[in-house]
A and B are shown apart, each in its own frame.
Chain A
């Protein structure tokens, strides 16, 4: 569990972030993380997934190979992002505004068989 609202004043949004399909290996081999984010971003808009991505790299990721998670400011190809059990493409991708209690899952696709 890691909590990092960075001492921001004002309300915060508690969410759960999960990594599966091997991505957990980049995050201290922990699948489930409780995260608390500020309710608003620096520009005053509600906190969205675009804010969450670099936040995870800076605060939760333990492996130095950032490109295994983020490429060109987005999740790298081969990673699905799920917002409350739906593909994030159904929810507006990185513009989705986080709600308290949201469950965000990052799944690396598997290829073995």
Chain B
């Protein structure tokens, strides 16, 4: 696509979004006018109930809205007051993925007046099992546009605002300023710190959630939102995690996997916590709604799909007296964020793909295939290529999805497990440990990272017989195998 085409597409999208915003404003104006008219009418006609009932304009919500939101409005914690608070609320969701989709769906359904979504990614097929607003026909489209398309079908009343970009420090304060409540639906530590810092400095409460594999976590932060230095304010992300985790310990959903309903549960809970905070103070009598966390100690909610119980809630600390953002000793300000002197990428580090092996310890997928043709045929026994050993170090589950015909599976977790020094670990195949053969050993994994660790470990164990036997890995792993050798290899 040429730059001009892209520019046109972007302008068209912006026009659509602006038109939607305009529609929302017109609707707001109409109901404001109705409300003003109703006020003067009711003063004049207060002694005449029947005349009054003819005028729809004295009701603060549209007729359709009473029907649409009736089931939640009759819940005592919400009521009409809560519904009006929701309609007045402006909520920003950072991330339109596994958390953002279900969260946005429930907030739009509940009638939040303005919903902003920010995400620079486009929809991929591998997103669809969990990112429930995206449709198969929208693969390739901006996630925020795809999401808003679905949301508008669900509820045309809210104003939807699309931010087709990844959140950057230079833009974050300007964007956050347009909203009064933030949902962190992102997937990396650097953005999580940026969101929390900006939310604290602009006085916005924040619901932060995350999920991986079968587990999820959720916290309501900066609630109540108070200026830095005010101990009555809720803790921020930095209070709970003053130091980021080492970059190589951070696992993404793409690498670790994720169950749709797990991340969905967390996204739905984010919407719930947002509704609780936004409608706080509404309702009446015993059901007086105090919102979330403001009156009690801050909490971390943990969900674990295969544990019993499924949910566990723990008390966490209050504001940290030396927090870099929300304490009196704060060093992070809006200026240091926008200027870049608070460097989130540096703070969190980045996990560069390891390059532990020398070039001659690695072989490309194509070269390997040329050397040992037939390895890609699942029916092949080891007899086809008897002159080498191929070790696949992915975990058992991934090996079960697809594997090279003559490979053996030794998961990397076994290889890295500690063993008493001097002993040959039990996972080393007897043939390899005992044989006097110098037939080469190759190691493969999904992307070519773990295979390097494995090669190192095999050499440490002396399986290379002091260099007489070749041990190396397949550069780029099975992804490269698909790209260079077998286009039908399953990409999962």
Tell me, in angstroms, the Cα distance from A16 to B217 when the chains sit together.
Answer: 22
| Contact A61–B418 (Cβ < 8 Å) | yes
Across-interface contacts of A33 in B (CB, < 8 A): none
Whether B95 is near chain A, meaning CB under 8 Å from some CB there, is yes
Whether A85 is near chain B, meaning CB under 8 Å from some CB there, is yes
Cβ proximity bits B404-420 to A, threshold 8 Å, 1 near / 0 not: 00000000010011110
Across-interface contacts of A112 in B (CB, < 8 A): 98, 187, 210-212, 251-253, 256, 258, 263
Whether A3 is near chain B, meaning CB under 8 Å from some CB there, is no
Across-interface contacts of B312 in A (CB, < 8 A): 85
Whether A87 is near chain B, meaning CB under 8 Å from some CB there, is yes
How many A residues, CB 8 Å from partner?
33
Whether A9 is near chain B, meaning CB under 8 Å from some CB there, is no
Cβ proximity bits A102-113 to B, threshold 8 Å, 1 near / 0 not: 000101111111
Across-interface contacts of B266 in A (CB, < 8 A): 113
Whether A48 is near chain B, meaning CB under 8 Å from some CB there, is no
Cβ proximity bits A54-82 to B, threshold 8 Å, 1 near / 0 not: 00000001111101100100001111101
Name which residue of chain B comes closest to A31, CB basis. B307
Whether A20 is near chain B, meaning CB under 8 Å from some CB there, is yes
Tell me, in angstroms, the Cα distance from A21 to B312 when the chains sit together.
Answer: 13
| Contact B192–A111 (Cβ < 8 Å) | yes
Count of A-B residue pairs with CB < 8 Å: 121
Across-interface contacts of A87 in B (CB, < 8 A): 240, 300, 314-317
Whether B250 is near chain A, meaning CB under 8 Å from some CB there, is yes
From B83-91, B241-249, B282-290, the one touching the partner chain is B241-249
| Contact A89–B246 (Cβ < 8 Å) | no
Tell me, in angstroms, the Cα distance from A62 to B417 when the chains sit together.
Answer: 5
| Contact B416–A78 (Cβ < 8 Å) | no
Given the known interface contacts A31-B307, A113-B99, the answer about A64 and B418 at a Cβ–Cβ threshold of 8 Å is yes
Whether A41 is near chain B, meaning CB under 8 Å from some CB there, is no
Tell me, in angstroms, the Cα distance from A20 to B242 when the chains sit together.
Answer: 20
Whether A86 is near chain B, meaning CB under 8 Å from some CB there, is yes
| Contact B413–A25 (Cβ < 8 Å) | yes
Whether B476 is near chain A, meaning CB under 8 Å from some CB there, is no
Across-interface contacts of A113 in B (CB, < 8 A): 95, 97-100, 184-187, 209-211, 253, 263, 266
A10 to chain B, nearest CB (A): 28
Whether A22 is near chain B, meaning CB under 8 Å from some CB there, is yes
Tell me, in angstroms, the Cα distance from A26 to B70 when the chains sit together.
Answer: 50
Whether B27 is near chain A, meaning CB under 8 Å from some CB there, is no
| Contact A22–B213 (Cβ < 8 Å) | yes
Given the known interface contacts A90-B315, A112-B258, the answer about A20 and B307 at a Cβ–Cβ threshold of 8 Å is yes
| Contact A110–B418 (Cβ < 8 Å) | no
Query: With A77-B246, A113-B97, A113-B184 given, can you name 18 additional A-B contacts, CB distance below 8 Å?
Result: A21-B212, A64-B417, A68-B249, A76-B246, A77-B244, A77-B245, A78-B241, A79-B245, A80-B240, A80-B316, A82-B314, A89-B316, A110-B216, A111-B192, A112-B251, A112-B252, A112-B263, A113-B98
15 contacts between A and B (CB under 8 A): A20-B307, A63-B417, A65-B416, A67-B246, A77-B245, A77-B246, A78-B244, A87-B314, A87-B317, A89-B316, A110-B215, A112-B251, A113-B184, A113-B253, A113-B266
Across the A-B interface, the 3 shortest Cβ-Cβ residue pairs: A78-B245, A77-B243, A64-B418
